[in-house]
């Protein structure tokens, strides 16, 4: 089967899921064509079954905004025609589902067509998609898709609550390839902390929805009770809040390590004792699952789909969004109790294995087969 994957190339969760899915399909013999504005961050193009098509936007001084969505639709249309794709898979409704619908219309004019699968990832529904500027187009393009999937039950419920959806939505959860998170023998814990210190970690694109200021407040409270260090991985607009916090709390400068974007993330996750995710909104929480794959329990908010991934009292602890005190107290409780910490590290890994690629990939394949059958 020849599949066209439409996704963001950046470090966001939807692009990562799309890339990992496409690479796994290519390994199984599918021909996979990525259509994106740039080479997706984790894409390994050495597999001969993988193709990359860059969307080229022609700039013209007349335009205040360059018409990216038109260039995207045209590229989708051209790739389907050239490579005879069997199916399109849009990851994130905006603009991918909409652009794919337009490409399909162009194909139909020539008596051709291709089925479209749209996977809803999160903020395309819960944040951006609800804005009146986008809402009707998002609703329309979801309803025009041949198959719609969402990455959690919570996101499915939100989609049905906020939009008038006539399509059935199939939940196919995100996944992790545990093979990529194997035990790390050469990871040096001493690089980050002394033997008597615990390591807390946060990984995100530091957008307001991630509430990095709460990560810092949790650490501040924990540090008063438990000798510890905090590692922050990622880049984003709220890095400014981190700098501001350090200016206001200079005594913590040696305790907080900022690492920016990191490629072999699993090595550092393996060294960590607890992962902090106090997000305001999270349709799934792929970052939490990645932590669990590296045996790291999670202290999180209970936003959106997080409770489907992080299980209260088993793989970590959850509190109401914004309840910094509760998240700090849970962290202290966990870090002070070696037996509980060891148990939760094991439970976290067991949860990551439940979400292993080997379990989820066949569900995607079956969904593709059914989509083609019903088309």
**Residue numbers of the site for ligand GMT (CB under 6 A)?**
12-14, 17, 92, 121-123, 126, 151, 174, 205, 209, 281-286
Residue (226 or 233) nearer to ligand GMT, CB? 233
Cα Rg of the chain (Å, integer): 21
**Least distance CB 292 / ligand GMT (angstroms):** 13
Residue (85 or 201) nearer to ligand GMT, CB? 201
**Least distance CB 286 / ligand GMT (angstroms):** 3
**Least distance CB 145 / ligand GMT (angstroms):** 17
Residue (89 or 121) nearer to ligand GMT, CB? 121
Q: Which residues, listed in sequence order, are joined to residue 300 by a DSSP beta bridge?
A: 277, 318
**Least distance CB 95 / ligand GMT (angstroms):** 13
**Least distance CB 225 / ligand GMT (angstroms):** 30
What's the CA gap between 186 and 207, in Å, rounded? 32
Residue (5 or 226) nearer to ligand GMT, CB? 5
| Chain centroid, CA 322 distance in Å | 21
Residue (51 or 96) nearer to ligand GMT, CB? 96
Q: Specify the 3-state DSSP secondary structure of 29.
A: coil
**Least distance CB 310 / ligand GMT (angstroms):** 12
- Taken in order 93, 96, 100, 101, the sign of the CA dihedral is positive
Residue (92 or 368) nearer to ligand GMT, CB? 92
CA dihedral defined by 160, 164, 166, 167, rounded to 10 degrees? -50
Nearest to 51 by CA among 83, 28, 73: 83
**Least distance CB 355 / ligand GMT (angstroms):** 11
**Least distance CB 18 / ligand GMT (angstroms):** 9
Residue (128 or 221) nearer to ligand GMT, CB? 128
φ and ψ of 4, to 5 deg: -100, 125
Residue (121 or 223) nearer to ligand GMT, CB? 121
What's the CA gap between 292 and 310, in Å, rounded? 9
**Least distance CB 171 / ligand GMT (angstroms):** 12
**3-state SS track over 282-350:** CCCCHHHHHHHHCCCCEEEECCCCHHHHCCECCCEEEECCCCHHHHHHHHHHHHHCHHHHHHHHHHHHH
Environment class of residue 133 by beta-carbon count within 10 Å: exposed (0-12), middle (13-18) or buried (19+)? exposed
Residue (86 or 308) nearer to ligand GMT, CB? 308
Task: Let me know the angle formed at the C-alpha of 326 by 323 and 327, rounded to the nearest 5 degrees.
Answer: 85
Nearest to 284 by CA among 173, 368, 201: 173
Nearest to 324 by CA among 282, 285, 276: 276
Rounded to the nearest 5 percent, the helix, strand and coil shares of the chain are: 50, 15, 35
């Amino acid at each position: 089967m020849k599949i066209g994957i439409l996704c963001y190339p950046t470090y966001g969760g939807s692009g990562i899921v799309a890339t990992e899915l496409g690479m796994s399909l290519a390994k199984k013999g599918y021909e996979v064509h990525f259509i994106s504005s740039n080479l997706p961050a984790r894409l390994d193009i050495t597999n001969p079954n993988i193709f990359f098509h860059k969307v080229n936007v022609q700039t013209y001084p007349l335009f205040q905004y360059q018409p990216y969505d038109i260039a995207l639709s045209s590229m989708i249309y051209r790739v389907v025609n050239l490579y005879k794709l069997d199916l399109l898979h849009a990851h994130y409704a905006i603009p991918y589902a909409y652009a794919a619908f337009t490409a399909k219309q162009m194909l139909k004019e020539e008596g051709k067509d291709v089925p479209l699968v749209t996977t809803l990832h999160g903020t395309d529904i819960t944040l951006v998609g609800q804005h009146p500027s986008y809402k009707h187009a998002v609703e329309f393009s979801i309803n025009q898709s041949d198959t719609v999937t969402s990455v959690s039950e919570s996101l499915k419920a939100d989609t049905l609550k906020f939009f008038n959806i006539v399509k059935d939505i199939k939940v196919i959860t995100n996944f992790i390839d545990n093979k990529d998170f194997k035990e790390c023998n050469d990871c040096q814990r001493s690089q980050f902390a002394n033997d008597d210190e615990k390591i807390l970690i946060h990984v995100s694109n530091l957008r307001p929805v991630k509430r990095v200021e709460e990560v810092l407040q949790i650490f501040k409270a924990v540090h008063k009770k438990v000798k510890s260090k905090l590692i922050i991985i990622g880049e984003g607009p709220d890095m400014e809040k981190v700098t501001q916090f350090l200016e206001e709390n200079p005594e913590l400068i040696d305790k907080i390590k900022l690492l920016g974007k990191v490629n072999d993330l699993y090595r550092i996750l393996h060294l960590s004792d607890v992962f902090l995710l106090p997000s305001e909104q999270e349709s799934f929480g792929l970052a939490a699952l990645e932590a669990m794959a590296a045996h790291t329990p999670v202290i999180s908010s209970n936003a959106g789909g997080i409770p489907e991934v992080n299980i209260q009292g088993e793989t970590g602890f959850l509190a109401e969004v914004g309840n910094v005190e509760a998240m700090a107290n849970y962290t202290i409780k966990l870090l002070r109790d070696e037996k509980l910490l060891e148990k939760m590290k094991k439970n976290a890994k067991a949860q990551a294995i439940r979400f292993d690629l080997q379990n989820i990939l066949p569900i995607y394949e079956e969904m593709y087969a059914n989509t083609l059958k019903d088309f």
